[in-house]
Structure 1
Amino acid sequence: MENIKELTNKEQLIEAYPVMKQLRTDLTEDMYFELLTQMIEEGYHLFALYDEEKLVSLAGLSWRTNFYNKKHIYIYDLITDASGRSRGYGERLLTFIHDWGKENGAEFVALESGIQRKDAHRFYEEKLNYDKWCYSFRKTL
């Protein structure tokens, strides 16, 4: 049986680290907790999908407001454990986030995906009807 919940206590956040590490490969456990503590203080939420009590997928997000997306959810992290990929977990977790966002006043859900992640792009566009509408740029300081 599947269950989706927001991770709020230390035990849950510890349990999430090995899955998050599959997405954020340079993340040490110490760095994970240091950054996560600050991110939560700034409004970050981490949701997990469990299948038979096993954490299989994560979505990390926060609420944002700006001129072009109005009030929206920004997804920073989306990952399904390697052992559970192609089983629909990511789609079910994102569908939950879409419904949760709409119920709470979001006009959009936005995310970025690395240029090289072509399979992820197909997933967002073809399975979930996301629009690819801009490029994102950054500069190392």
Structure 2
Amino acid sequence: MSFAFKIIEKNEIYTIIPLVEKLNDYKVPSSVLIDRFSEMVNQNYECAGIYDENKIIGICGLWFCTRHYSGKSVEVDHVYIEDAYRGKGLGKAFFKWIYNYAKVNGCESIELNTYISNHASHKFYYNEGFNILGYHFLKKL
């Protein structure tokens, strides 16, 4: 199989909605996701996709910012690869592409959050050299 990694164009951002819906531990209605991604693409956000031919089979959001403790960084968000494509080294290849993309864009570090219940992702990120620095808290207003 031959896969392609690329940044999803702003006008194609809605193609990721079905994958984001599979990822969420909590359910966000499609209409809300559409509204939120419409805003996000006009902020410091990009989304990378994995394609098998013309079919999108994986995604990863990228938030670019500068932080006092890590310099210019990218925060990896909503990483998802379709079940049928897992366990084949595709995640490792995707992250290699993401590391390079971040470096080309001047980033000094990569950060991410992962759901507490997603133990497979914890193992993956540890193997990729990520360290836990703290907890991510959320309060709905």
TM-score, normalized by length of structure 1?
A: 0.89
Contact 2:14–2:37 (CA under 8 A) maintained in structure 1:
no
Shift, 1:9, TM fit: 4.8
Alignment partner, residue 21 of structure 1:
21
Alignment partner, residue 49 of structure 1:
50
Shift, 1:30, TM fit: 1.5
Root mean square deviation of aligned Cα: 1.6
Rounded to whole Å, the distance in 2 between the matches of 1:139 and 1:29 is 22
Identify the range of structure 1 (94-103 vs 19-28) with the bigger mean alpha-carbon deviation.
19-28
Contact 2:62–2:75 (CA under 8 A) maintained in structure 1:
yes
Alignment partner, residue 93 of structure 1:
94
Summarize the alignment of residues 122-141 of structure 1 with structure 2, pairs less than 5 Å apart.
122-126=123-127, 128-141=128-141
Contact 1:46–1:61 (CA under 8 A) maintained in structure 2:
yes
Q: Letter of the aligned partner of 1:62 in structure 2?
A: W
| Unaligned 5+ runs, structure 2 | none
TM-score, normalized by length of structure 2?
A: 0.89
Contact 1:48–1:57 (CA under 8 A) maintained in structure 2:
yes
Question: Would you say 1:72 and 2:73 are equivalent positions?
Answer: yes
Contact 2:44–2:65 (CA under 8 A) maintained in structure 1:
no
SS at structure 2 position matched to 1:56: strand
| Unaligned 5+ runs, structure 1 | none
Rounded to whole Å, the distance in 2 between the matches of 1:106 and 1:70 is 8
Rounded to whole Å, the distance in 2 between the matches of 1:13 and 1:70 is 28
Q: Kindly tell me the number of residue pairs found equivalent between the two proteins.
A: 139
Rounded to whole Å, the distance in 1 between the matches of 2:108 and 2:10 is 29
Sequence identity percentage: 22
Shift, 1:81, TM fit: 1.2
Rounded to whole Å, the distance in 2 between the matches of 1:14 and 1:138 is 25
1:7-53, Cα deviation, whole Å (9 max, x unpaired): 1154x333322112111251322112110010111121011011233
